[in-house]
């Protein structure tokens, strides 16, 4: 009785009142398919109005998943999300796209989030080459960068070779930037490693401090000679 009722309900939902071809093999039911491979095998779309609750250990879905939203956006169109399991030119990735009723043909869909099979994540980036690639701004109250680099306290060690100001001047005239600091062209091409850049800037501040101390000693020595 329960089985008959369930099949009847499915038929109404799938065919909007018309009849669908149902195959019952005894332990498997196929709708629109003659040789069902699962307890319920449906060849076509399934529409569920209301909540859909599942308790599934292994979910295998081909194609894509579409998540509709009955709420309206500001321009009065309904929005929905579609989740794709991509391959080919998109790489092996799980992709989240946002649509409205106009569809992609009218330019009203956009790729929002990508999860690659290598663990890389892209937000606004189609093929992320880093663990997290973001096309746009990131707002955070705190960012901590872990670095394996040696923090430049060694600048204050007695044996540290501080470049002379004459050497520094020649380098600046030739290269138009400080030693170990990337050039503007390099930054434009490759970006900046935040942790490495902070360590380099601190090193230059510490070297500058040593230069100031040396200059102060020279000034005091000149005062004594007067």
Picking from 78, 43, 38, the residue whose alpha carbon sits closest to that of residue 60 is: 38
Q: Do the Cβ atoms of 65 and 57 come closer than 8 Å?
A: no
Name the pLDDT band for 168 (thresholds 50, 70, 90).
very high
Token pair of 199, please? Answer: 């360590």
Q: What pLDDT digit, counting tens, does each position of 169-180 carry?
A: 999 999 999 999
Token pair of 174, please? Answer: 């030739």
Q: Give alpha helix (H) positions in 40-145.
A: none
Q: Do the Cβ atoms of 13 and 1 come closer than 8 Å?
A: no
Q: Is the pLDDT of residue 135 over 90?
A: yes
Model's pTM, two decimal places? 0.58
Token pair of 195, please? Answer: 């942790």
Q: Do the Cβ atoms of 31 and 42 come closer than 8 Å?
A: yes
pLDDT at 148: 78
Name the pLDDT band for 108 (thresholds 50, 70, 90).
low
């Amino acid at each position: 009785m329960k089985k008959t009722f369930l099949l009847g309900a499915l038929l109404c939902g799938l065919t909007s009142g018309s009849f669908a071809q149902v195959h019952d093999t005894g332990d498997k039911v196929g709708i629109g398919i003659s040789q069902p491979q699962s307890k319920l095998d449906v060849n076509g779309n399934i529409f569920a109005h209301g909540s859909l609750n599942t308790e599934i250990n292994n979910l295998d879905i081909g194609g894509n998943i579409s998540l509709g939203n009955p709420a309206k956006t500001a321009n009065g169109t309904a929005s929905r999300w579609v989740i794709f399991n991509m391959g080919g030119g998109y790489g092996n990735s799980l992709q989240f796209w946002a649509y409205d009723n106009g569809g992609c043909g009218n330019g009203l869909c956009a790729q929002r989030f990508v999860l690659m099979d290598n663990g890389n994540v892209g937000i606004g980036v189609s093929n992320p080459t880093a663990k997290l690639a973001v096309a746009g701004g990131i707002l955070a109250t705190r960012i901590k960068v872990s670095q394996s680099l040696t923090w430049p306290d060694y600048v204050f060690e007695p044996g540290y070779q501080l470049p002379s100001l004459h050497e520094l001047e020649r380098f600046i005239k030739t290269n138009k930037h400080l030693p170990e600091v990337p050039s503007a062209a390099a930054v434009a091409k490759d970006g900046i490693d935040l942790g490495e850049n902070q360590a380099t800037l601190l090193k230059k501040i510490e070297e500058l401090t040593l230069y100031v101390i040396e200059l102060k000693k020279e000034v005091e020595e000149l005062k004594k000679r007067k």
